[in-house]
């Protein structure tokens, strides 16, 4: 059997996660990509530097949907670093003028349900249910490893569960605690939006989604896109841990449950 060396593996850092901005960095020996660029170019470069990397090495950027917390830095990064940018047609249209001009040869259309191959790294897109033009998230495959990202969805469909089941790593949404959201200061229409089928996953939704998809291969689970108003890191963590343990899943033994932060990158980790 050929042993894959540690440095030949898929490595991931959640650069930032939350309603204030999202970006995930993924690297293999041949390719370095970002999923979303929802912060300023300057802030993303700072976060990259904090894990010993630079945007100069990144070749491609995959955008999930047009909401500012996912697309704020898209135009700047494309122009400054010459990145190839991938998104579906609906998202390109919805980002429109707001991201400024991107040279035609750097703009790529990746519809949902397709795979974009980048020399050994395959990026698979899948649709989610969220109040954006045509939101899609991604699972990245490299050799026998897979890392799946799913945030910004009102629910996890059977189809999505099938696509992302038994990945080695996940970034999974735990947006809000339902009670905190209900009791909190958000206007009612906004509360309804978040709780709807095209809103965001609550801590319980995230836990149930994870219970359905984790498998023997799963080693790392990042809890992401936490609301700063309607959630607390420790509460999200405890809710998911308790619910998974209730289903006899060996949290901290079979896999690690990891927190993310809106302002700090998680250490670059082999998946």
Q: For binding to Zn ion (CB under 5 A), which residues are involved?
A: 67, 69, 152
CA 265 to chain centroid: 13
CB of 219 to Zn ion, least distance (A): 25
Give the nearer residue to Zn ion in terms of CB position, either 137 or 142: 137
Nearer to Zn ion, 129 or 165 (CB): 129
Q: Report, in Å, the least distance between residue 110 CB and Zn ion.
A: 18
* 108 bridge partner residues: 86
Task: Map residue 85 onto helix, strand or coil.
Answer: strand
Report the residue number whose CB is nearest to Zn ion.
67
CB of 152 to Zn ion, least distance (A): 4
> In the complex with Zn ion, which residue's Cβ is closer, 132 or 244?
132
Query: Is 69 or 205 the residue whose CB approaches Zn ion more closely?
Result: 69
Tokens, residue 69: 């917390």
Distance CA 113, CA 121 (A): 16
Question: Please, which residue, 194 or 243, has the CB nearer to Zn ion?
Answer: 194
- Distance (Å, rounded) from C-alpha 148 to C-alpha 154? 17
Which residue, 134 or 152, has its beta carbon nearer to Zn ion? 152
CB of 115 to Zn ion, least distance (A): 23
Secondary structure in 3-state letters for 66-81: CCHHHHCCHHHHHHHH
For the chain, strand residue ranges (E) read 11-16, 23-27, 32-35, 60-62, 84-87, 107-109, 115-118, 121-127, 136-142, 145-150, 169-173, 220-224, 256-259, 269-270
Nearer to Zn ion, 27 or 152 (CB): 152
In whole angstroms, the minimum distance from the beta carbon of 153 to Zn ion comes to 9
The residue assigned the tokens 């400024």 is 100
Q: Is 207 helix (H, G, I), strand (E, B) or coil?
A: helix
Distance in Å, CB of 142 to Zn ion, minimum: 25
CB of 63 to Zn ion, least distance (A): 11
Task: Output the CA–CA distances (angstroms, integers) from residue 3 to 8, 52, 78, 81, 144, in the order listed.
Answer: 10, 26, 36, 34, 12
Among 173, 167, 124, residue whose Cα is nearest residue 153: 173
């Amino acid at each position: 059997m050929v042993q894959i060396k540690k440095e030949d593996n898929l490595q991931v850092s959640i650069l930032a996660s939350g309603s204030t901005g999202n970006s995930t960095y993924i690297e293999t020996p041949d390719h370095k990509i970002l999923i979303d660029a929802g912060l300023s170019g300057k802030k993303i470069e700072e976060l990259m530097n904090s894990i010993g990397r630079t945007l100069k090495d990144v070749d491609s950027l995959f955008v999930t949907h047009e909401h500012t917390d996912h697309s704020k830095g898209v135009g700047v990064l494309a122009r400054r670093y010459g990145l190839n940018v991938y998104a579906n047609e609906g998202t390109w249209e919805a980002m429109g003028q707001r991201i400024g001009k991107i040279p035609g040869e750097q703009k790529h259309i990746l519809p949902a349900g397709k795979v974009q191959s980048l020399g050994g790294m395959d990026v698979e897109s899948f649709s989610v249910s969220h109040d954006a033009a045509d939101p899609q998230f991604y699972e990245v495959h490299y050799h026998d490893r897979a890392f799946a990202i799913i945030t910004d969805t009102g629910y996890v469909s059977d189809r999505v569960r099938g696509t992302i089941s038994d990945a080695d790593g996940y970034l999974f949404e735990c947006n809000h605690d339902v009670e905190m959201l209900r009791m909190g200061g958000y206007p009612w229409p906004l509360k309804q939006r978040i709780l709807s089928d095209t809103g965001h996953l609550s801590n319980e939704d995230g836990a149930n989604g994870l219970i359905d998809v984790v498998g023997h291969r799963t080693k790392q689970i990042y809890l992401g896109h936490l609301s700063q108003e309607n959630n607390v890191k420790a509460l999200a963590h405890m809710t998911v841990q308790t619910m998974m343990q209730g289903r006899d899943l060996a949290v901290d033994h079979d896999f690690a449950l990891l927190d993310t932060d809106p302002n700090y990158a998680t250490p670059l980790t082999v998946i």
